[in-house]
Each structure stands twice: as C-alpha cells, then as structure tokens.
Chain A
Amino acid sequence: MIKLWKSITIPSYFWMILGTLALTGLWRLMSLIYSPIFVPSPGETLTAVVGLLSSPEAVADIANTFYRVLLALILLTVTGIAIGMLAGFNPWLEQIIKPARDILIAIPPVAMTLLVIFLFGGGTVQTVATAVALGFPLLYGGTVTAMRSVDRDLMEMFGAFKASKAVQFWEGFLPAVIYSVLPIVLLAAGLTVRLIIMAEIIVGMNTGIGNALSIARVHLATEEIFAWLLIMAAAVLIIEGGLLYLVKRNLLKWQAGR
C-alpha cells in the first residue's frame, strides 16, 4: 500500500486546487455561521462578480484602475531603475538618497497617502504619485543591489577589448541590471495594484475599483465588496502572470537552455 502511494506522482497543481477548495469550504462555513450581511456565500459573491463584469460602470472602474496601475508601474520602473543605476555608478548619490529612501520604507502606506492628499489634494496624479513613491524603494534598492552584482569578469572583458563606454553600458550594464530587476518589477506590479486601490479609497476618487469599493461599503453591499476583492485578486494574478509570460517569452529566451 505504502509502495503504491509512493509510486503515484501527484502534479503540483493538484495541491493548489485542494488549497482553493479548502479555502472555499472555509468561506462557505463562515457564511453559514455569520449573517449574509457580514459574510456572503461564495455563490452569492460569484453572482455579484458576474453582475459587476456585465455592468459598463464596473468595467469602466476596472479600466480606470488598470490605467492608473499601468501608469504607476511604468513610472516606478523607469525612475527606480534610472535613479538606482545613477546611484550604483555614484556612491555619493546613494548616500544622498538613503535618508529619503529609509523614510519612504518606514512610512506606512496609509500615512503617505494622507500626507499626499494633505499637501496636493486628490486626483489621478496624486493617486499614481503615491503608488510610485511607495513602490520606489523596492525598485531603486533592487537596482542598486543589481549594479553591485554585475559580473566584474564581463566588465573586464569589455575593458580588454577596448569597448566604448556606450557599448559597455548598453550591452553590459543595462541588460545585467534589467534582468536582475525583472523579478522585482513583477513583485512591484502586484504591489502597485494594491497601492492604487488603497489610494483610490483614501483619496476619494470618483472612478476606479477603490471608488466602487467605497460605494459598496456605504450601501452595505457585502457581496459586492467580496466580489470586488475577488476581482482585485484576479487582477493581481492576471497582471503578474501576464507580465511573467511576456517577460519569459520575449526577454528571457536566453535562459531557455539553462
């Protein structure tokens, strides 16, 4: 019997499905214990998801949030990598940036969002800026570390062949840093979704998933709140998974043989 059990190869996704089913079962149990006002059942939530996805207003909210996430992610990636590379080349700049970076890491996201509203008011720019400021230390720190771990042997090779500074940068430094930072960009993508929605709620945007969540909360539409949470989780998974697919397919072909 033990031998038979050991000979069965269980695919890894089996355990993932099992985990999902267990979570759904727990959710269903909670919905039986608590009133539907507090915990709607998985079925009710799924119906609410379908309802939301077939409503043009909800789709517009998703599109607005997605637009802000994309904008924040692009700005975050470009500024984080660019400033991180500059700091990697200039240790004095790294020291200048360090206090600001430490403060950004220490400040709770909610407090930062409140500070931005207090100083600059609410709006898309402020929402995106908050997410960029909060995600910046992650990308910046990753880039500085990547700069330190650039293969010195490869750099020596460039020097031995008298390659120009431009060739060294475009062919050596930049790809080395980008390939090291890619996993952090993927991590930042999920983080940006969460930060944007949080900022939308606190800033009080009148569009976006954050706004829809706020309205659902005011109306005590718990199944809608749960539905938005499910949509949020799906959005994070889709964005992370989609980016991972694109990155592997287009940028990491060279790792295929490893």
Chain B
Amino acid sequence: MLEFNNVTKSFDKRTILDAISFKLEDNRILAILGSSGIGKTTVLRIAAGTIKPDAGEVRSDRRKIGFIFQEPRLLPWRTALANVTLVLKSNKMLTGKEQTERAAAMLKRLGLQGFEHYYPAQLSGGMRQRVAIARAFVIEPDLLLLDEPFTGLDLGLKGSLQQMLLELLAWRPASMIYVTHEPQDAVLLADTAIILAGKPGRVITRLDLDRPREERDHLYIQEQAGKLADLLTAKS
C-alpha cells in the first residue's frame, strides 16, 4: 500500500504540489493525468523517495521500486544485459552469475534474446524502452513508477509495449503509478485515474474505472477517455 496524505512540495520558493492525497492499494494501477509542468513527475519522485515532501506524509510498505522513465535512461557505455544487471548489483543476496542469468531471462521475456550484448546506440527506440522495462522488472518490484514511458513512440509500438507491460504485471503483480497526459492510455491501463490541475497542482478529480481491464472494449475506453479529457480541459 502507498498513501499520500496532504503532500506539499516547493522548489525555489514556488509551490509545485499542494495537499496531494491518494491511496494506492496492492497490485492496483493508478493513472495520474495533468498538463505539462503540473507536478506529475514530482509525485513519482516523492513516491520513489528520491525527493522528500516539504509537508504532509507518505506512507508506504513498498520496498522494491522499479522506475520506467520517459526516456530509457540506459548507460550508453554498457550493453543491454549490463544495463539490466546494473540494478541488481546492490543486491548482496545474488551472486554475479545469478544477477546475469536473471537479467538475461528478463531480456528474453521481453523478446530481446540475441540482443543482450548490443549497446543502446545499436538498438531501436522501442528496443531501448524494452530494455528499460526489463531493468524495472528484474528487481521483482512491488511498486512500479512509470513517467510517460511511451511518449514519442508510434501508435503500433506504443500498443505493443502497453500489452507487454500488462502481461508482465499479470506474471508478476505489482502496484503501479502511471503518469500520462493521454486519457486513453489511462483508461486502457489503470484501475483509478486522478487529475492534477491548478497552480500549484492539486488533485481535482478522481475516476474509478471499475470494469475489469479485459472487458474494456473500444466503446468503454472512448467513453471514459472522453470523460477524462473533458475534465482535463475544464480544469486546465
């Protein structure tokens, strides 16, 4: 469980987030929508523990956190395999061999068998993002934080990566916060969506997507995405 209670954050005396509250239950997906610069990424950074809130409380029993950024953020001087192994290096429970084996298995699961020894510059954009997904899942996370990871990818590639993500979550369930500015993506993936708006950013609305994900047809997705888009436009 991850819970934000009245979390506030300022940078250089400018308040970015104001009294943000939400609760994320185990193995649920929360989508955060909002316009650019509203503080969505700041919420993820606070959830990851890389920055501390100025006020309010973050309660979390999540220990293993996987992060997928907008850009793959791979080390350019390391191969795909080394980039995935990298996040296991601080895990003293695993030997070097076990770390490599686990990373190789994860790359294989993501369809990157044969590309283990390729450098990021030798991979396509979609493949690089798959390496980043492998890096996030190899630690067997109990919380996944996604910061608009499919922005800039073509529709086909985006769809296949989203499908891959859902399959991975079915295989290894985890709670997830998915930051996006695309209402359709939120409806496709999330159980709950919240919208941040205003200056400073506040949670202005919450939408529970109660229909099971596998039963969400095109009509339902369009309808709910339309609702979210209207709310976004009205409050922005």
Contacts and interface: CB of A to CB of B under 8 A. Distances in A.
Interface of A: 153-154, 156-157, 159-164, 167, 171-172, 175, 179, 253-258
B71 A171 contact: no
Contacts, number: 63
Interface string B111-124: 00000001111110
Contact of B89 (A156, A171, A175, A253): A171
26 contacts: A153-B69, A156-B50, A156-B73, A159-B50, A160-B45, A160-B48, A160-B50, A161-B86, A161-B87, A161-B135, A163-B89, A164-B90, A167-B86, A167-B90, A171-B75, A171-B89, A172-B75, A175-B77, A253-B119, A254-B120, A256-B119, A256-B122, A257-B118, A257-B119, A257-B122, A258-B121
Contact of B69 (A157, A162, A258): A157
Interface string B88-99: 011000000000
B121 A161 contact: no
Nearest to A255: B121
Nearest to B122: A257
B65 interface: yes
B121 A153 contact: no
Contacts of B139: 161
Given A162-B65, A163-B90, A157 B73 contact: yes
Chain B at the A interface: mostly helix, strand, loop or mixed? loop
Interface of B: 45, 48-50, 65-67, 69, 71, 73, 75-78, 86-87, 89-90, 118-123, 135, 139, 145
B50 A254 contact: no
Q: Which 3 A-B pairs have the closest CB atoms?
A: A257-B122, A257-B121, A160-B67
Nearest to A171: B86
B177 to A, nearest CB: 13
B73 A163 contact: no
Contacts of A163: 86-87, 89-90
Contacts of A253: 119
B85 to A, nearest CB: 10
Given A153-B71, A163-B89, A254-B120, 14 more contacts: A157-B67, A157-B73, A159-B50, A160-B50, A161-B66, A161-B87, A161-B135, A171-B78, A171-B86, A254-B77, A254-B78, A255-B121, A257-B119, A257-B121
